[in-house]
Amino acid sequence: MASIEIQVPDIGDFDEVTVIELMVKVGDTVKAEQSLITVESDKASMEIPSSHAGVVKEVKVALGDKVKQGSLVVILEGEGGASAPAPSASVPNTATAPVEPAQAAPVSVASAPAAVAPAVAVPAHNPTTAPIGLPHASPSVRKFARELGVPLTEVKGSGLKGRITDADVQAFTRSVMSGAVQTVAGAAQNKSTGGGDGAGLGLIPWPKVDFTKFGPIERKELSRIKKISGANLLRNAIMIPAVTNHDDADITDLEAFRVSTNKENEKSGIKVTMLAFLIKACVAALKKFPEFNSSLDGDALIYKQFYHIGFAADTPNGLMVPVIKDADKKGIFQISVEMGELAKKARDGKLSPAEMSGASFTISSLGGIGGRYFTPIINAPEVAILGVCKSQMEPVWDGKAFVPRLMLPLSLTWDHRVIDGAAAARFNVYLGQILGDFRRVLL
Ligand code: CAO
């Protein structure tokens, strides 16, 4: 096997930068484009990715070393395969590192940071002390902290010169969740409400029960995905003033069209489910009601001019949310094929962070399973999510008689800071009209 020397690529305007984080060690298997080290100039920090896949034979830099374009970073024992295009300075700045979680999902995250953080001592934390200066952390750690809603200014770093690591962020999250530590915001809230120590929310502590007193038990660790999605869900459930509107859509004709389309295209092997039509119908509704396709940014709204639709997928390890990018530009067949591929990847644990990022709206469909209505949790920073349950035949009054119609239960949860109840009702009504007659999209 060939030895491959990985060097620092063109890093733009910087002559020399300091190595502040080693992200691999001898013996590690790295993929092409995986981040190897983090470097820092006086202006920014960035991650240096590997241009090839292979096994790390030698690490040629140490923490604190000064490096520049061409400096040798690691020597790989090549796998003779994948090689990425020569990385440039713009690459390392982005969240390509497979050690990062994907964008927050109610859910989410494929390649989260090393499964379960090794037990890290939680640095002493005093929420009443104002932090001095900006926290030192690499871009990937900052992104991870943002996704978990962790205030980095309150995390004590265990890395070189107090640098905050992924493990520090995870440890901090665990301590806040367990109630051992409070965030400044939580402490302030407790002070104002006179509350107790329930995870910084002014709640009474979580009940501690010895279940063995009542019968036999078995303790099992939560999956990596559940641990991370739990933190996201908790934040989203607590921080978003969410309301859910329930409605029904008459999909009798659409279902007949879907069934006949599948019959006609039996040989193609592409199966179209109701979810593909729902994605298209939601895109039409998002275009008509753009605030549903926005995100809050302080006192402003960011209106997205793209329609990337996330869909919740049930996997053996927990809930994942792959994203159909540019759903407005794709047809039902293409969406169906992509959905099938992404759902399979999700079940196989092979979704990349990029495949779970960038959603502007999410659909959670329990239609294949059952139920009537539910209250999905918004996938921040999105502002709305559509929950869908199983359609069923119902008697519907047509003005003269009850007629059997196939009705699809819809549950739209929306962020009341951005959307009003009237707009939500209109969104659902419009969605129902589109699903009732797709020709309306043309109007
Ligand atoms: N009403 C009635 N039947 C429906 C339906 C609906 N709304 N939606 C789907 N179905 C039917 C499909 O037509 C299919 O029927 P056949 O087997 O007869 O062809 C069957 O249910 C199974 O569909 P599916 O689930 O395989 O396909 P999908 O496109 O509807 O959904 C996916 C794909 C990946 C979203 C789904 O498999 C899944 O994981 N759903 C769970 C999502 C979830 O967990 N949400 C909760 C989030 S909150 O914790």
Which residue type does 52 have?
H
Better pLDDT: 427 or 161: 427
Assess whether pLDDT exceeds 50 at residue 27: yes
Site to substitute for ligand 1 among 225, 258, 273, 336, most atoms within 8 A of C-beta: 273
pLDDT digit string, tens, across residues 30-83:
998 888 998 887 666 778 889 999 999 999 999 889 999 999 999 999 865 444
Map out the domains of the chain with their CATH numbers: 2-78 (2.40.50.100), 132-224 (4.10.320.10), 242-442 (3.30.559.10)
The finding on whether 313 has its CB within 6 A of some atom of ligand 1 is yes
Q: What is the pLDDT of residue 123?
A: 33
Residue 245 phi, psi (nearest 5): -105, 130
Determine the pLDDT at residue 40: 80
Question: In this predicted structure, what is the pLDDT of residue 17?
Answer: 87
> Is the pLDDT at 386 greater than 90, yes or no?
yes
Q: How confident is the model at residue 435 (pLDDT cuts 50, 70, 90)?
A: very high
Whole-number pLDDT of residue 148: 76
pLDDT in the model for residue 124: 35
138-157 burial string, b = 16+ CB within 10 Å, else e? bbbbbbbbebbbbbbebbbb
Using CA atoms, how far residue 82 sits from 56, 76, 94, 355, in Å, is: 15, 13, 20, 19
Q: How far is the first Cα of the chain from the last one, in angstroms, to the nearest whole number?
A: 62
Distance 274 CA to ligand 1 centre (A): 8
Band (pLDDT 50/70/90 cuts) for residue 187 is low
User: 34-38, 216-220, 407-411 — which is least confidently predicted?
Assistant: 34-38
The pLDDT of 187-196, averaged and rounded, is: 45
Confidence (pLDDT) at 103 = 36
pLDDT given at position 178: 63
pLDDT at 297 over 70: yes
Residue of 232, 248, 275, 337 best suited for mutating to test ligand 1, as the one with most atoms within 8 Å of CB: 275
The yes-or-no verdict on residue 86 having pLDDT over 90 is no
Give the Cα separation of 103 and 327 in Å (integer).
Answer: 18
133 CA to centre of ligand 1 in angstroms = 50
Would you say the CB of residue 311 lies under 6 angstroms from ligand 1? yes
Contact 45, 138 (CB under 8 A): yes
* Average pLDDT for 155-181: 79
Q: Is the CB of 411 under 6 A from ligand 1?
A: no
Mean pLDDT of the chain: 83
Per residue in 325-340, pLDDT (tens digit) is 999 999 999 999 999 9
Catalytic annotation, pick one of 52, 136, 246, 416: 416
Query: Residue range 194-216: average pLDDT?
Result: 77
What local confidence, expressed as pLDDT, does residue 410 receive? Answer: 98
Which pLDDT value is given to residue 127?
A: 36
Question: What pLDDT does 44 receive?
Answer: 67
pTM of the model: 0.64
Q: Is 246 a catalytic residue?
A: no
Mean pLDDT on 237-255: 97
**pLDDT over 90 for what percent of the chain?**
57
Q: pLDDT at residue 169 above 70?
A: yes
Q: Which atom from ligand 1 is nearest to the alpha carbon of 346?
A: 34
Measured in Å, residue 272 CA sits from the centre of ligand 1 at 11
